[in-house]
Structure 1
Amino acid sequence: MKADIEQRFDKWTAVPGWRVEIYSPDRQYEWDEFVAQSRNGTFLLCRGYMDYHADRFTDCSLMIYYGRQLLALLPGHLEGQTYCSHNGLTYGGLLLHPHITLVRVQAALVTACAFLQCHYNVTELVYKAIPHIYHRYPAEDDLYVLTRLGARLAERCMSSVVRPEMALPLQKLRKRQLKRARTCGLTWVEDDAFHLFWPLLEENLLRRHGVKPVHTLEEIERLHRSFPDRIRLFRVCEGTETVGGCVVYETDCVAHVQYIASSERGRHSGALDLLFTHLLTVRYRQVPYFDFGISTEQGGRILNEGLLFQKEGFGARSVVYDKYVLELDKPAAGERTKHD
């Protein structure tokens, strides 16, 4: 039964009727079941994916209840007095029960912040919002609540996304490269030979950006074994040689390109043009969104125009990935409001 409690936020205080529990490994089934049924969860928020880098982060994920009902999850970890959701993932933020309403989302987030402040002396929440294209059902309640509570937008990265069923036509350069790929006799294959693609990926990232892939070969192979229907490898070959390819993460609404790489030979012969044309027009034709990934660096302050040009050549247009910071050492903002 709904009880309307009118209050003004003078400090971070748990809302009556709400409680928070820390996730523990014995609750993995409950966590994963909630993710699967939530409005905005993806397999990246399942424990089998999150915990592959448990040694790098001090996990402090929250399970948020109203009475006995689990209504929200907050995957996250501690870094000193900062709570991050989640620096080891592309996105984090509140995972929402299908029936939770906006007012209850606010109560859940305020209660979570009060819990973190009280038990861990957390002074700020760093929050990576889940982009709307990944939502199974509208779930931007958190963005409104964060703004209402005084959060600031700290970073805005830009990703390039295609709607395959209504994709814009290929630009002329992409068409020429596709024709070249077909003339060169390139072929593509979907398999699990990550060991043939990873050296190419590592060489690309080191030469162009001076970095390594987020995942080691052993990690991506382990994740693929855990999620064989969600993590896919596509390679482009000239004979038996791998000259290009990509790793795609499949969620319910999005095919997200996690990694892309090609050799000099592959770039010259249009390897990725052949591959992405197939993925967009055949393999993922019925998927709502095809996400090429971000073309920005340093939290969105630098735009890689060359990379963007390639992606937009396939008809991709912009979707933002946002990060917010909410200071908890200040009183919560907000006008008089009602909570459950």
Structure 2
Amino acid sequence: MSTKARVIAFYLPQFHPIPENDKFWGKGFTEWTNVGKAKPLFKGHYQPRVPADLGYYDLRMPEAREAQAEMAKEAGVEGFMYWHYWFGNGKRLLEKPFNEVLASGKPDFPFCLGWANHSWSTHSWNSETQWQKDQNIVEQLYPGKEDYINHFNTVLPAFKDKRYITVDDKPLFLIYAAKDIPDPKEFIDLWRELALKNGLKGIHFVAMHGGWMNDIQEYYDWGFDAVNSRALWHAEAKAKGKYQKLVEHKLRKKFGGVTLDKYDYEKVMKHYFTEFDKKDNVYPTVIPQWDRSARSGRRAVIYHGSTPELFKKHLEEGLEIIKDKPEENKILFLKSWNEWAEGNYMEPDLKFGHGYLDALKSCVK
């Protein structure tokens, strides 16, 4: 039976307190903190966003993780891509939910890892600091070969888990900012060598790319198997007009949030996919909604007017793009399952209920 799509949903684990967030934002800070404080910035702006079925969950609770997996499976999601934070020298954050998934064997739902290799700053997680000087919470470091080996050994039990998502029998590993790695080829070659020594057939490396799609060849030169595409700048420029976008960008850069970076969701999605997305080694992204104002206030990028019906149309275009690819490569990354403070989620809310889940299910199942 032919596969319509291998839908892999990005999954954010920042729904439980950690000491680093407590230190900068106050005791008990989680993703919900910003979600609950969001306010509408213009007439018809959908804020705040309130979860429905799952409530304001805590990912330390296995019941919450089980409910998420069941909901995703029912909608046609193949598995979750958990964001994985490794800052160098063994420093990790937000690892507890995934560690418990791995150790317990539950939920029995496929997964893979995405290395979110970027520094954490105060602007990353909270809008109240938007006018203040940015501060580093944790710096992303690349200490060298020994750290790469330690990193590999840390994720090896996940790679060997029967639930781990593979492409051509190789565990899929996504890297958020491949260009930030001092020598990406060295990293990839080393991990592939370690994989073979540990009984794996290799690793299927995917580089995330969010810029113009005509400059992706270097990823393949470094050894990446595929690129996860998000041609947002291209789509936004088309939706608003390149000149207007550049003028507004300069105004925001000079005067802060004097003008909102607001787009019509339908128009952006109309220009979103490119010819590059048809290539076997390019994995497109589908986006249900996008509104980062809960984190960034007036400096947020906002796609206004998303509905389950428009998301379904966007999905159908994505499925058309990948329909002739080999079965293993019919991958659509779903951004995201639960990025609530980015207004970028599939989980039910009070406004749309199961609308986005139903749209996905009607397209892929």
TM-score bracket relative to the smaller structure: 0.3 to 0.5
Greater gyration radius = 1
TM-score by length of 2: 0.31
More strand by share: 1
TM-score by length of 1: 0.33
Q: State the structure with bigger RCO (CA 8 A, min sep 6), 1 or 2.
A: 1
More helix by share: 2
